[in-house]
């Protein structure tokens, strides 16, 4: 029986052992637990809670956006989350709105104010308040409204178009229009008002319906503290406006005067601060007037009932 040389058997054995090792290694890897797996769907991005999301222009428009979404779906192997929706726009608008309303007293325009919840339809709200008329304190002070209805149909290029019913008394037509014009032009979006086919009109077209002295601050029913600032507009002799404070008994507590920005024959603004002393809070009156050049008595007087806070 022949024998293989030792030197010839070594390569065969080496190849045999190598093949067995490879098979064992493959089986071991196949039986080992898998370290791979699904990552699951991508986490949804929460929608912003404040502010307005920035929107970038996408070349190709909506089709490009849809294509990008499809690509994301294919890559992730699951449905991509929808883009965050634009929630309510954060607003710095105050909760309340103060309106300046122009009523009528003694056949002339007279201003007052209202504080109401904020709305975007400020013109409609102001007209509704005009139609509703003065409150009890204002009515007691002689304020009335001549409007029974008023509706703003549009505001375009600074012109508000307003529909008014026919005036029962044609002689009050301009006063009714003036109430609307002075009230609506307090808003920056309105410079003039159109009534029907007539040309749009502004405040200057109804300036003759103002009294010689207008007090815009304070207004009827305000609670004031010392010192109180009195302001408005006037067309008086030498532009001099006098102001005084009276208590509940009519006693004069303080007096002051100032000069408006325009004199006799033109209307100018004025502003004066006046202090008073009072030991308890009570009803009172702020009066603005012109001193008569003939005898020094108050003339063209405007009286504003207020509540006077006590001083310390």
SS (H, E, C) 201-221: ECHHHHHHHCCCEEEEECCCC
Domain that residue 178 falls in: 96-209
Of the candidates 209, 238, 253, which is a domain's last residue?
209
In a domain, 238, yes or no: yes
Quote the pTM value: 0.70
In a domain, 30, yes or no: no
Contact predicate 112/220, CB 8 Å:
yes
pLDDT tens digits for range 24-59: 333 333 444 433 333 333 333 333 333 333 333 333
- The pLDDT, as a whole number, for residue 13 is 43
Question: Are 201 and 226 in a shared domain?
Answer: no
In a domain, 171, yes or no: yes
Contact predicate 306/220, CB 8 Å:
yes
Residue 267, SS3? coil
Question: Are 162 and 218 in a shared domain?
Answer: no
In a domain, 187, yes or no: yes
Q: How many domains does the chain have?
A: 2
Question: Are 104 and 202 in a shared domain?
Answer: yes
Question: Are 141 and 175 in a shared domain?
Answer: yes
Question: Are 187 and 222 in a shared domain?
Answer: no
pLDDT tens digits for range 156-204: 999 999 999 987 788 899 999 999 999 999 999 999 999 988 899 999 9
In a domain, 167, yes or no: yes
Question: Are 141 and 194 in a shared domain?
Answer: yes
In a domain, 107, yes or no: yes
- Residue in the structure block whose two tokens are 């634009």: 86
Question: Are 219 and 268 in a shared domain?
Answer: yes
Contact predicate 275/225, CB 8 Å:
no
In a domain, 226, yes or no: yes
């Amino acid at each position: 029986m022949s024998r293989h040389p030792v030197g010839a058997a070594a390569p065969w054995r080496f190849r045999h052992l190598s093949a067995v090792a490879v098979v064992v290694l493959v089986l071991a890897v196949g039986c080992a637990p898998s370290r791979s797996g699904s990552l699951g769907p991508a986490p949804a991005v929460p929608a912003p809670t404040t502010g307005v999301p920035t929107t970038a222009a996408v070349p190709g428009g909506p089709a490009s956006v849809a294509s990008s979404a499809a690509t994301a779906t294919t890559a992730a192997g699951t449905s991509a989350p929808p883009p965050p929706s634009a929630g309510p726009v954060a607003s710095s608008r105050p909760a309340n709105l103060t309106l300046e309303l122009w009523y009528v007293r003694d056949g002339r325009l007279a201003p007052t104010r209202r504080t109401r919840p904020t709305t975007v339809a400020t013109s409609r709200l102001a007209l509704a308040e005009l139609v509703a008329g003065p409150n009890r304190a204002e009515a007691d002070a002689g304020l009335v409204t001549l409007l029974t209805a008023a509706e703003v149909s549009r505001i375009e290029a600074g012109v508000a178009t307003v529909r008014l019913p026919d005036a029962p008394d044609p002689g009050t037509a301009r006063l009714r229009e003036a109430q609307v014009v002075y009230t609506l032009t307090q808003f920056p979006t309105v410079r003039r008002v159109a009534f029907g086919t007539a040309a749009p009109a502004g405040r200057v077209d109804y300036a003759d319906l103002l009294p010689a002295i207008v007090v815009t601050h304070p207004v009827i029913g305000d609670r004031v503290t010392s010192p109180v600032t009195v302001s408005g507009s006037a067309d008086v002799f030498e532009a001099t406006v006098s102001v005084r404070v009276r208590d509940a008994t009519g006693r004069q507590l303080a007096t002051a005067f100032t000069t408006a920005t325009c004199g006799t024959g033109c209307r100018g603004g004025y502003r004066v601060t006046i202090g008073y002393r009072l030991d308890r809070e009570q009803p009172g009156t702020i009066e603005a007037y012109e001193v008569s050049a003939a005898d020094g008595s108050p003339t063209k007087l405007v009286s504003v009932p207020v509540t006077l806070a006590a001083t310390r």
